[in-house]
Structure 1
Amino acid sequence: MNKIEQQIAQIKEELAESPNDGELLNELGIGYHMLGDYDEAIDYYQQALNQRPKAVKIHFNLANTFYEKKDIEKAINHYLNALDIKPDYVPALNNLADIYELANEDEKAQELFEHITEINPDDPMGYFNLGNHHLRNNDSLEAGRCYKKAIELDPEFHEAYNNIGFLLKHLEQYEEAISYFEQCLEIEPNYEPAKKDLEACKKVLKNS
């Protein structure tokens, strides 16, 4: 029996004593989700919601499981349920934005990514995710602006340095790109994407 199965067995023992404990039911859902048994996870999350219908994290967990099952409509509904209860719940906002982007509803996705930066203006991850959205939509200028804001808020944000380097590499501004890759690697020496692109930029300059 692996560790997750052991935890599930222990939770079930506790649940036998408190069968209507919404938190324990939620924890069982998490355990089965981690095992990839999504139908069982959904059943326990729904039981948990019967006990705690206003629990934001249970709606969020249930949405994530429906997303894994590719039941996008139900996933969206539960992300929205979580946001009805707590409108500034960033994990739900972020995952909902990801879904809209995958559905090619880029305007809705960008609106949510931007909203996250507005409600959490001091969180560099919000700007990083917004930058990634712009990057995926080939808006290099806005992507770069967001990554620089992330670095301004967190000078140790190595992925943001890497992504600026990536942008500059594709704009063929190799010397500047090298500078950003090197800054990334100063913070995280084993970050493979930066190591690979750094060598590629050096090779281009050497052969030019």
Structure 2
Amino acid sequence: MKGLKVVTVTLSTLLLVACASQEPSLDTSLYDGKPIDTLSSEEPPKTEKEAIMRGDTALSAGNVDLALYEYIRSLSFENGQFRDRSLYNIGRIHQSRGNLPLADKAYSLALEENPNNVQVLEQLGSIYSKSGDINQGKSYFLKAINADQIRFGNSETLVSKDLQSSKEVAELKSDAKSPEFAYMGLGVIADLEKDHSLAQAFYKQALSIEPNSAKTLTNVGYSFYMSGDYRKAQRFTLEALDKDPGDDKALNNLALIYLAKGEITRAINVFSRHMDKPEALNNVGYFLILQGKPDQAIPYLQQAIDTKSTYYKVANENLERALALVREGEASDKQ
């Protein structure tokens, strides 16, 4: 019996080697999924295009591991014409799974093949920005836009620019293929740097590429909220909610806008659309404190405490803070 087991394992190994020998050697360092030998029993692809088509088909069918494997297979063909695109697809799969090191590796290899791949540059900007490396993220977003301007034959590219004015942004060319998320990402960064007019110029470009983007509309609304233009903030935020009524971020922003306008009841109603009433009351109290209105916050925090005991601790801490701020204000008035 022991001898039989050894023979079986040996034959199995020989079969795998035989299968592998039918196609070019694969570099599986970019693969992260279930065992490759369980993915497909089809003959190996004969061309780069066939491998990519198989990957596209598998991806559309939801077979992500097989798609990843087929895209990696496409890289094994010498003098491939679409290597950067395959590497982009590989990067997107890893990025969607949260495997950022492999996504970054795939994208970096793609840029070696084509330094002006707009989609790759855009995704690298997104990865670095979300990880907290704002400067690196900004750099990749600018490179994505620069590459897009090269596509248009725009002689005034961004190689020596940092896009520091709304006029410069407005002069850029764009179409449906332009990097919407790079423009939006630069808008978010400009808002973080408190340059709201520049941020709004970037968002305008993003909306010219995709006018129905709820995410961009939400960011535009928040940008106007931060700059104190509550009328425009409300208009864009409501437009975002028209596209995606359940967007939590847009709902929160709309509630903040109503609070800034002094429309507290409307703010409570908006918060209550995606949280229970005590939490909505606590949120109203909390944000009124942040807006420098601790005296107005007190009754809403007390209602939150009275309505649901599970919010007692959080709401009570906010209430204590509000009362302390009110006492400090009264003491300073007497001096």
Q: Is the 8 A contact 1:25 1:47 kept in 2?
A: no
Give the number of equivalent residue pairs. 189
Q: Is the 8 A contact 2:177 2:209 kept in 1?
A: no
Q: Is the 8 A contact 1:21 1:48 kept in 2?
A: yes
What SS does structure 2 have at the residue aligned with 1:121?
Answer: coil
Could you say if the C-alpha distance between residues 66 and 132 of structure 1 is closer, same or farther in structure 2, counting changes exceeding 3 Å? Answer: closer
1:30 maps onto 2:154 in alignment: no
2:204 alignment partner, one of 80, 85, 104: 80
Q: Which moved more, 1:22-31 or 1:139-148?
A: 22-31
Partners of 1:194 and 1:181 in 2: how far apart? Answer: 10
Q: Is the 8 A contact 1:131 1:144 kept in 2?
A: yes
Q: Which residue of 1 aligns with 2:217?
A: 93
Q: Is the 8 A contact 1:181 1:194 kept in 2?
A: no
Q: Is the 8 A contact 2:252 2:271 kept in 1?
A: yes
Q: Which residue of 2 aligns with 1:194?
A: 315
Q: Is the 8 A contact 2:190 2:198 kept in 1?
A: yes
Partners of 2:189 and 2:320 in 1: how far apart? Answer: 40
Could you say if the C-alpha distance between residues 44 and 145 of structure 1 is closer, same or farther in structure 2, counting changes exceeding 3 Å? Answer: same
Q: Is the 8 A contact 1:127 1:147 kept in 2?
A: yes
1:47 alignment partner, one of 146, 151, 171: 146
Instruction: Give 5+ residue unaligned stretches, structure 2.
Output: 1-98, 152-175, 289-294, 323-335
Q: Which residue of 2 aligns with 1:176?
A: 303
Q: Which moved more, 1:10-19 or 1:79-88?
A: 10-19
Q: Which amino acid letter does the alignment assign opposite residue 305 of structure 2?
A: I
- State TM-score, norm by structure 1: 0.68
> Could you give the per-residue CA deviations for residues 75-100 of structure 1, whole angstroms, max 9, x where no partner exists?
21221122122222122112111221
Partners of 1:150 and 1:162 in 2: how far apart? Answer: 14
Partners of 2:296 and 2:140 in 1: how far apart? Answer: 44
| Structural mapping, 1:54-203, within 5 Å | 54-151=178-275, 160=280, 162-164=282-284, 170=297, 172=299, 176-180=303-307, 182=309, 184=311, 193-194=314-315, 196-197=317-318
Partners of 1:13 and 1:165 in 2: how far apart? Answer: 50
Partners of 2:241 and 2:270 in 1: how far apart? Answer: 10
Q: Is the 8 A contact 1:97 1:108 kept in 2?
A: yes
Q: Would you identify which runs of 4 or more consecutive aligned residues in structure 1 move more than 4 Å?
A: 3-10, 164-169, 198-201
Q: Is the 8 A contact 1:11 1:28 kept in 2?
A: yes
Partners of 1:43 and 1:173 in 2: how far apart? Answer: 45
Higher relative contact order (CA 8 A, sep 6+): 1
Could you say if the C-alpha distance between residues 98 and 126 of structure 1 is closer, same or farther in structure 2, counting changes exceeding 3 Å? Answer: closer
Q: Which amino acid letter does the alignment assign opposite residue 135 of structure 2?
A: D
Q: Which amino acid letter does the alignment assign opposite residue 273 of structure 2?
A: K
- State TM-score, norm by structure 2: 0.46
RMSD between aligned alpha carbons? 3.7
Higher helix share: 1
Partners of 1:102 and 1:30 in 2: how far apart? Answer: 23
1:13 maps onto 2:109 in alignment: yes
Partners of 2:256 and 2:306 in 1: how far apart? Answer: 20
Rg larger in 1 or in 2?
A: 2
Percent of paired sites with the same residue: 21
Q: Is the 8 A contact 2:255 2:267 kept in 1?
A: yes
